[in-house]
Chains A and B, each alone.
Chain A
């Protein structure tokens, strides 16, 4: 280079477009929001009718806990969630794998699932009561039905995305059909199935409240609905917070499961 007077470093123009999770930012942001709400309601900038005071919600929650009512509400909800979501996810995965493997299942069920998916399951509440009675059966059914459709769609998408090269390889080694399904299709579809479960289980929590509209005395959903009809915002928020925490726990559990089962992804 002869123009040595000009020498300057090349301007950096790469980088960006690569968001990474920053530790504690999530929690800090949430806490900041709560603090703003607390200050707002204490100073009167936000009226008590608009938003309950976070500290009052916490008190309500503490009361709920000390009176022992928390477990009385939480236990039936958790068992409904567990039974309903398990049924829905299990049948959903089975049907999704069948759609991914068999032409007839695919042709028959894909339109059916597309037709069922957009129906708000809550609209079918009366039907579920007729079919399964007013007891636990209809609650399980509602949650299972709501979990089923997103699980099916995620599962057959995941089966479709399994590397056909691996299947052809297994065929070239004469691996029997069932062996190919068990050793290649299912493990290959697992990442997609698990990320589908994240969505399905969140939907299951949403439907828990709907299910408990069906004459449940105890349950988080029943608790929220009762508070709502009385415009008791503190109790409403205490109940909603429990659902949020439930969502976080489920998502964390799936995260753990992914790290265990999908360690090979690195």
Chain B
């Protein structure tokens, strides 16, 4: 499914956080949104997913979502957002329970997504018993269960340690390679952006504007930071962001 963000603006009181954002989210591709902290990239993602209303502009769905999709715009959150009182399978089930599915169909979907995220052995385990990386895999399984048309990922790896992040990044690349999905991936980590992004949009600090959109015309699989082409792209992004990040760092947090 293709989405267009058109002239999106938003302000919290007198503070403009997003200013005339225009973006194209192309089907079967991952768009990374990077920017310094506080530039409104998470707010933008919530607006794309209909969890917040922008003051101006709109997010347009260019085609009807595929009929097999249960929840076309599906989020993956930074803090996993798992219900601590439900098991792994129960957390996945939450996304399916209100849909018109037979118990058999539902169990089939749950078994399938847990297998795809290598969680089949942990179906009955409670979230508190899982490591951070596994918790996020549960959240990914839950997202896959509703067959999303667009995945909206809000810094999904930021709460994880460096090694786990690396492993999960490989998982995401693997998932995409097997069945390409459309996604918007918010991050402040440039390494993640150049590993996962088919295109990378850099937002400036407040008020958030699209500074530039960089297209990375390389297959996701086998992308490595030791590849000079990727390293160059990363350096270019950093050049473009550096000053913004420095200024953002000196700003007082008063939001």
By a beta-carbon cutoff of 8 Å, the part of chain A in contact with chain B is 165-166, 168-176, 179, 183-184, 187, 262, 264-266
Contact B83 A187, beta carbon cutoff 8 Å: yes
- Cα–Cα, bound, A119→B95 (Å): 46
Q: Which residues of A contact B86 (CB under 8 A)?
A: 264
Which residue of B is nearest A191, CB measured?
B85
Q: Which residues of A contact B146 (CB under 8 A)?
A: 173
Contact A170 B51, beta carbon cutoff 8 Å: no
Contact A169 B75, beta carbon cutoff 8 Å: yes
- Cα–Cα, bound, A245→B207 (Å): 64
Distance between A174 CB and nearest chain B CB, rounded to angstroms: 6
Contact A172 B94, beta carbon cutoff 8 Å: no
Contact A175 B94, beta carbon cutoff 8 Å: yes
Q: Which of B54-75 contact A (CB under 8 A)?
A: 71, 73-75
Q: Which of A166, A173, A184 contacts B71 (CB 8 A)?
A: A173
Top 8 nearest A-B pairs (CB, nearest first) are A169-B81, A264-B85, A172-B75, A173-B95, A187-B85, A165-B81, A266-B128, A264-B84
Q: Which of A166, A172, A264 contacts B74 (CB 8 A)?
A: A172
B122 contacts partner chain A, Cβ-Cβ < 8 Å: no
Q: Which residues of B contact A175 (CB under 8 A)?
A: 94-95, 97-98
B77 contacts partner chain A, Cβ-Cβ < 8 Å: yes
Contact B97 A165, beta carbon cutoff 8 Å: no
B79 contacts partner chain A, Cβ-Cβ < 8 Å: yes
Which residue of B is nearest A167, CB measured?
B81
Contact with A along B90-121 (1 / 0, CB 8 A): 00001101100000000000000000000000
Q: How many residues of B contact A (CB 8 A)?
A: 23
Contact A176 B98, beta carbon cutoff 8 Å: yes
Contact A173 B85, beta carbon cutoff 8 Å: no
> Can you give 12 contacting A-B residue pairs, CB < 8 Å?
A168-B51, A168-B81, A169-B75, A172-B152, A173-B71, A173-B95, A175-B94, A175-B98, A179-B97, A184-B83, A265-B128, A266-B128
Contact B83 A183, beta carbon cutoff 8 Å: yes
Contact A166 B83, beta carbon cutoff 8 Å: yes
Contact A265 B77, beta carbon cutoff 8 Å: no
Distance between A156 CB and nearest chain B CB, rounded to angstroms: 20
- Cα–Cα, bound, A171→B51 (Å): 8
The winner among A172, A179, A184, A262 for most chain B CB atoms within 10 A is: A172
Q: Which residues of B contact A170 (CB under 8 A)?
A: 94
Q: Which residues of B contact A264 (CB under 8 A)?
A: 84-86, 126, 128
- Cα–Cα, bound, A266→B128 (Å): 8
- Cα–Cα, bound, A183→B98 (Å): 11
Q: Which residues of A contact B27 (CB under 8 A)?
A: none
B132 contacts partner chain A, Cβ-Cβ < 8 Å: no
CB contact under 8 A between A172 and B85, given known A179-B98, A264-B126, A266-B128: no
B49 contacts partner chain A, Cβ-Cβ < 8 Å: yes
- Cα–Cα, bound, A266→B125 (Å): 12
Q: Which of B73, B79, B152 contacts A165 (CB 8 A)?
A: B79
Known: A172-B75, A174-B98. 13 other contacts (CB 8 A): A166-B83, A168-B51, A168-B81, A169-B77, A172-B51, A172-B71, A172-B152, A173-B142, A184-B83, A187-B85, A264-B86, A264-B126, A266-B126
Distance between A149 CB and nearest chain B CB, rounded to angstroms: 28
Contact with A along B204-237 (1 / 0, CB 8 A): 0000000000000000000000000000000000
Q: Which residues of A contact B98 (CB under 8 A)?
A: 174-176, 179
Distance between A200 CB and nearest chain B CB, rounded to angstroms: 23
- Cα–Cα, bound, A265→B71 (Å): 30
Which residue of A is nearest B145, CB measured?
A173
Q: Which residues of A contact B81 (CB under 8 A)?
A: 165-166, 168-169
Q: Which residues of A contact B85 (CB under 8 A)?
A: 187, 262, 264
Distance between A103 CB and nearest chain B CB, rounded to angstroms: 18
Contact with A along B142-162 (1 / 0, CB 8 A): 100010000010000000000
Q: Which residues of B contact A176 (CB under 8 A)?
A: 98
Q: Which residues of A contact B97 (CB under 8 A)?
A: 175, 179, 183
Which residue of B is nearest A168, CB measured?
B51
The winner among A170, A174, A179, A265 for most chain B CB atoms within 10 A is: A174
Distance between B106 CB and nearest chain A CB, rounded to angstroms: 14
Contact with A along B14-45 (1 / 0, CB 8 A): 00000000000000000000000000000000
Q: Which residues of A contact B79 (CB under 8 A)?
A: 165
Contact A174 B128, beta carbon cutoff 8 Å: no
